Structure 1
Amino acid sequence: MKLRRPARRATLAVHVAASACWLGLTLGLLGLATAALTTDSDPTIEASVRSMKVFTDWLVLPLAFLTLVSGLLLSLGTSWGLARHRWVYTKFWLTLVTIAASTFALRPGVNEAMTALSAGEPLPSPSDLIAGPIVSLSAYLFMTVISVLKPWGLTRRGRRLRGQEGRDQRKLGQKQSASPHKEVDAEVMRQTA
């Protein structure tokens, strides 16, 4: 399944916007956690943790899944493929890992901190409150860098598919060698325009 140009552009715009929002949200969570851990003001601590709870309950997972789904559509609907290039494959697995970490570590940690504050107790493990956003932010920045640089080349599967496509092209070229006109590949023209 190849995405047509308008669909590919729209999906790319959604993917970039969702990824940027996820990155910004994590930066905001890091700022709130830092504020909660570096102040002695109980109202500031409570406001920071309450804000973190709202963000983790309502925004983190929807943005994460929107990023994952739009990335999957782009990888499966374009020539990049999901398992053809190492950078795409790495981003896919890192996205799954960060979604799992957000679901099973970040959200429960913020909920635990909120429960403790509601009971009038101190934060149970202050370092846990800031560790999640630091790890997530590092992963998102790494994924952003590899999206721009596209390092590492093809996977084993990608090399095999590229070799197979080359053989198919040569066979196609031999069959068309009798024709004096060169055929234009519409897909290539669409992607370069």
Structure 2
Amino acid sequence: MKHLQRPVRRALLVVHVAVSVAWLGLSLGLLTLGLTAYTTQDPSLTQAAYRAMKVFADWLLAPVALVTFGSGLVLSLGTPWGLARHRWVWIKFWLTLATAAATIFALRPEIAHAAAAGVPDSSLVGAPVVSTTAYLFMTAISVLKPWGLTRRGRHLRESTARQAPRAGRAARQGQFS
């Protein structure tokens, strides 16, 4: 994929950061509601918390997860970071894919079931804990960019370094012809 032009890249980066932060906030909100539903002794509050979770799950979870994944994928393919050049990008890609799939195919149906049953469910505390931890981890590696290049990234860097002296020599020879 061709590198994105600066204005496009910056706009896409704003979108990616905004929806990623929204996904983290949504996860914290679901955790709060899940804890409330699980720990309260009031059945009507349990029911209300699960219904609120269902509203978030029905309207926000899938779109936020998919836009986060899509914008991150386009950014990785359209910038020098690449998708498989740096370990932190590669790990973020797979974690985002896994959490998006778990959100859409496991968490949403579980929330719908809990909203219908109205019975405390510990998995609706555990799932948001796991997702929040994953999103915080992905945020940290986005900022810190640890671990260096992947094998593919090292190979690309070496091949570029080998080609650079040849390109410079050809350009110099062209100057004196």
TM range (shorter): over 0.9
Deviation readout 1:6-29 (Å, 9 max, x if unpaired): 000000000000100000000000
**1:2 Cα deviation after fit:** 0.7
Question: Which residue is equivalent to 1:161?
Answer: 156
| Structure 1 residues not aligned, in runs of 5+ | 181-193
Is 1:93 the equivalent of 2:94? yes
C-alpha distance in 2, partners of 1:115/1:41? Answer: 16
The 5 A counterparts of 1:140-159 are 140-159=135-154
C-alpha distance in 2, partners of 1:8/1:167? Answer: 29
Would the aligned equivalents of 1:32 and 1:52 in 2 still touch at CA under 8 Å? yes
Question: Secondary structure at the residue paired with 1:109?
Answer: helix
Question: Which residue is equivalent to 1:184?
Answer: none
Counterpart amino acid of 1:174? R
Percentage of matched positions with identical amino acids: 56
Question: Secondary structure at the residue paired with 2:146?
Answer: coil
The 5 A counterparts of 1:7-22 are 7-22=8-23
Question: Secondary structure at the residue paired with 1:78?
Answer: coil
**1:173 Cα deviation after fit:** 1.1
C-alpha distance in 2, partners of 1:7/1:66? Answer: 16
Would the aligned equivalents of 1:86 and 1:154 in 2 still touch at CA under 8 Å? yes
C-alpha distance in 1, partners of 2:56/2:103? Answer: 11
Counterpart amino acid of 2:11? A
Counterpart amino acid of 2:135? Y
Deviation readout 1:76-134 (Å, 9 max, x if unpaired): 000000000000000000001101111222112111111212xxxx33xx211111101
Deviation readout 1:47-97 (Å, 9 max, x if unpaired): 110010011111011001101111011100000000000000000000011
Q: Hey, which bits of structure 1, 4+ residues long, moved more than 6 A?
A: none
Would the aligned equivalents of 1:83 and 1:155 in 2 still touch at CA under 8 Å? yes
C-alpha distance in 2, partners of 1:149/1:45? Answer: 40
| Structure 2 residues not aligned, in runs of 5+ | none
Would the aligned equivalents of 1:53 and 1:114 in 2 still touch at CA under 8 Å? yes
**1:40 Cα deviation after fit:** 1.0
**1:43 Cα deviation after fit:** 2.3
**1:136 Cα deviation after fit:** 0.5
| Greater RCO (Cα-Cα under 8 Å, separation 6 or more) | 2
**1:176 Cα deviation after fit:** 2.1
Counterpart amino acid of 1:172? A
Task: State TM-score, norm by structure 2.
Answer: 0.94
Counterpart amino acid of 1:142? F
